[in-house]
Chains A and B, each alone.
Chain A
Amino acid sequence: MDQEHRNDDRIEEPEKVEKPSVVAGDSKPADAVSAVPKPPQSMAERKALRTGIHEADFSRLSRRELLKVAPVLVLGAFAVPSLQELLLRRGLGFSDWASKQLFRRGHFAPTFRDSELTPFERFPINDYDIDDPGVIYENWTLTVSGAVQKPGEYRLAQIQALPRTRQNTRHVCVEGWDVIGRFGGARLSDFLAMIGADTSARFITVGCADDYYESLDMETALHPQTLLCYEMYDQPLTREHGAPLRLNIPTQIGYKQAKYLTDLKVTNVLDKIGYWEDQGYSSFYGL
């Protein structure tokens, strides 16, 4: 150990101190005895001297030990305005990467009994702009493009013709509130099969009637609980909740569940991630 090394040097000190007295002492036995270091009587004292350290050396030792803790100051980089943004972006990026690693294809979000549902009228209506972008149902189609065999316009009836899934799942908002809702719709994976999507592509992007936009990784898109949702609480989707078609993704945070869908694209490149993500929120906020 460090300080023991130093102590070895110190051992010589007391001997040096006592040497002159030996030299100076005359031949009288009594004097000689007093001049000789007193080993047996002072075992404790010797031990103390072994572990003794001079004040100045102790200050130096303390300062050196203090310097060893100094690397902590590296965290001060987070206080530098020009570095802060970069560091936080890296940190968030790492969290998103970890989120993605934690995602398991076969793991299902918990489902709930009907008695545990939040009443429909207490299911919050959250949007970034307007409750009702004024979709004209008769003219509505979902425009499909990108890496698919059958691009084009899809009517709601075509989506409703796919097997219907109904699930009671928890909707968690990034703000911190949560509700348990009942959602019904077609599995996105079934729809992707219908349009002949290249499922080796990396992303699905969606556009909305209120200009909101979102993206999903392919694994999440293919998850059996990910729905193209046209029902809530066994009733057709209401306008405020995103009629005629919205996303319901129980494995993802609330802002991923885009409403009033108008466009769907299968792609390998994202020029934008999502409305909130592009402002600094997690791009992969898997629950």
Chain B
Amino acid sequence: MSSTVIEIVRQNGEETEVVRRAVHEHPLVVRLCHWVNAIALFVMVGSGLQIFRAFPSFGAKIPQKDLLQWPKAFAIGGWLGGALQWHLTFMWIYIATGFVYLGYQLFSGNYRQVLFTHRDVPGVWPMVKHYFFFGPKPEQREAYNPLQKHAYTTVIILGVLSVLTGFAVWKPVQCSWLAWMMGGFHWARLLHFLVMWAILAFVFGHLVMVLLHGWDNLVSMLTGWKKDPEY
């Protein structure tokens, strides 16, 4: 593992006492991608919901059966054209962070910290018991427990899907093979919408966990250093 552990020491007269430990969890590239992507995702969802307001349905245009009247106050762009400008601008930032992140993780080997593999499977159930059924806390051996790895791996796949479904909606002719795989423009648009809600479900869980456990986690995504790691 690439993480570096250091001990934070305090000088007490002649004694050097170790006060806490810290581990370097997040390389700068990952931290930058995280925050840029967080902002881009916020704009993509906000403007996407404004775009959705123009035709809040997945059925026929005639007769139109609205699915959801999303309030304008919780959307970005003000009108369809404005929202499209935000969406078509930030999608490049969103895609760029995705490429930089995936490329970095792959070539640095840092992906091992996040990627959920078959080795993580046995650890899933104890973690579920701990989180949801008051089970004992399993020993933490690395930066992320199996459920965290599962969540992060899933959301990265969802991120890729959000881009692919988005391209099928934006370019159903030039990327007709992509749209075809999703059942055509009509279904691609629905999938794009569903992927958004799946990502939002992750974001919700992510924020709840940060609120519950996480000042040190939040700081680590800013400075790279996690204080008092459990492993």
Contact = CB atoms under 8 A, between A and B. Distances in A.
B10 interface: yes
Given A51-B7, A65-B224, A172-B172, A282 B36 contact: no
Contacts of B85: 88-89, 91-92, 280
Contacts of A5: none
B194 interface: no
A31 interface: no
A69 B92 contact: no
Interface in B178-223: 179-180, 184-186, 189, 219, 222-223
B86 A88 contact: yes
Interface of A: 1, 3, 7, 13-14, 17, 20-21, 48-49, 51-55, 58, 61-63, 65-66, 68-69, 71-72, 75, 78, 87-92, 94-95, 99, 102-104, 107, 109-110, 118, 121-124, 170, 172-179, 250-251, 276, 279-282, 286-287
A287 to B, nearest CB: 4
Interface in B43-65: 43, 51-52, 54-55, 57, 60-62, 64
A286 B89 contact: no
A23 B169 CA distance: 79
A176 B22 contact: no
A21 B219 CA distance: 40
6 contacts: A48-B7, A54-B8, A55-B10, A72-B39, A103-B174, A110-B180
Interface stretch (B11-19, B115-123, B124-132, B134-142): B11-19
B173 A286 contact: yes
B1 to A, nearest CB: 15
Given A53-B8, A88-B89, A282-B84, 9 more contacts: A3-B4, A14-B16, A52-B6, A52-B8, A58-B22, A61-B223, A65-B224, A69-B223, A92-B89
Contacts of A99: 171
A21 B115 CA distance: 51
B173 A287 contact: yes
Interface stretch (B27-35, B99-107, B155-163): B27-35
B87 to A, nearest CB: 9
A23 to B, nearest CB: 13
B81 to A, nearest CB: 4
Contacts of B186: 178
B223 A13 contact: no
B7 A53 contact: yes
B14 A69 contact: no
A124 B185 contact: no
B9 A175 contact: no
A51 B24 CA distance: 12
A244 B33 CA distance: 54
B88 A109 contact: no
B231 to A, nearest CB: 16
A110 B184 CA distance: 9
A280 B89 contact: no
Contacts of B62: 121-124
A69 B31 contact: yes
